[in-house]
């Protein structure tokens, strides 16, 4: 049965954040959208980069994954899987989302989106990972929730993290 219950995890080091991203990579699929929320420097790009590099490495590819702060979108191909990495911090209007093709990509690609609040209310099913600062330097927290079809992905993520 799908529970989709939200979970909070403590990330005691950057290594633990990278492990979360590796677990996430194993669940990547076309049509899955991951919203990466949280303040500047919380670790959104760190999660996206590790997730993407893990997927690329599975296909023997080694690529830089720069923060898409200025390009807004960077795309990758891990074998048959199309990956979109978006940073909407500099988005000027929601019309730009259509121009970028992000709406369409939500249906067909594996999408990782930083600063998702810039989209306003998104109607797409998504896994949301909200990163925050932990109690001491080098620590973070991750609140993870899901809407719609992503609830099953959240359950599988919880399962893999508890192993």
Ligand X SMILES: Nc1ncnc2c1ncn2[C@@H]1O[C@H](COP(=O)(O)OP(=O)(O)OP(=O)(O)O)[C@@H](O)[C@H]1O
Q: Is 140 in the site for Mg ion (CB under 5 A)?
A: no
CB of 44 to Mg ion, least distance (A): 5
Q: What binding mask, one character per residue, do residues 10-39 give for ligand X by CB under 6 A, x or -?
A: -x-xx--x--------------------x-
**Residue 146 carries which DSSP code?**
E
The distance of closest approach from Cβ of residue 128 to ligand X in the complex, given in angstroms and rounded to an integer, is: 14
Closer to Mg ion by Cβ: residue 4 or 43: 43
Name which of 44, 35, 5 is nearest 106 in CA terms: 35
Instruction: Say which residue the tokens 């420097």 belong to.
Output: 41
With beta carbons less than 8 A apart as the criterion, state whether 7 and 134 touch: no
Closest by CA to 89, choosing from 106, 62, 70, is 70
Backbone angles phi, psi at 141, to 5 degrees: -125, 155
Can residue 68 be called a binding residue for ligand X (CB under 6 A)? no
Judge whether 125 and 135 are in contact, CB under 8 Å. no
With binding defined as CB under 5 A, does residue 45 bind Mg ion? yes
Task: Report the partner that residue 37 touches, choosing among Mg ion, ligand X, none (CB closer than 5 to 8 A by kind).
Answer: none
What is the binding site for Mg ion (CB under 5 A)?
44-45, 67, 114
Residues in contact with ligand X by CB under 6 A are 11, 13-14, 17, 38, 40-46, 67, 114, 138-140
């Amino acid at each position: 049965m799908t529970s989709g219950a939200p979970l909070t995890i403590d990330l005691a080091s950057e290594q633990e954040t990278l492990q979360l991203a590796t677990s996430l990579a194993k669940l990547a699929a076309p049509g899955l959208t991951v919203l990466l929320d949280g303040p500047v420097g919380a670790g959104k790009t760190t999660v996206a980069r590790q997730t993407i590099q893990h997927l690329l490495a599975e296909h023997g590819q080694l690529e830089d994954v720069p923060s898409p702060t200025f390009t807004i979108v960077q795309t990758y191909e891990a074998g048959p899987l199309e990956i979109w990495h978006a940073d909407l911090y500099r988005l000027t209007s929601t019309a730009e989302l259509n121009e970028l093709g992000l709406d369409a990509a939500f249906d067909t690609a594996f999408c990782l989106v930083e600063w998702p609040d810039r989209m306003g209310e998104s109607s797409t099913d998504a896994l949301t990972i909200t990163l925050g600062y932990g109690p001491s330097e080098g620590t973070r927290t991750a609140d993870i929730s899901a809407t719609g079809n992503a609830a099953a992905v959240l359950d599988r993520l919880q399962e893999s993290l508890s192993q």
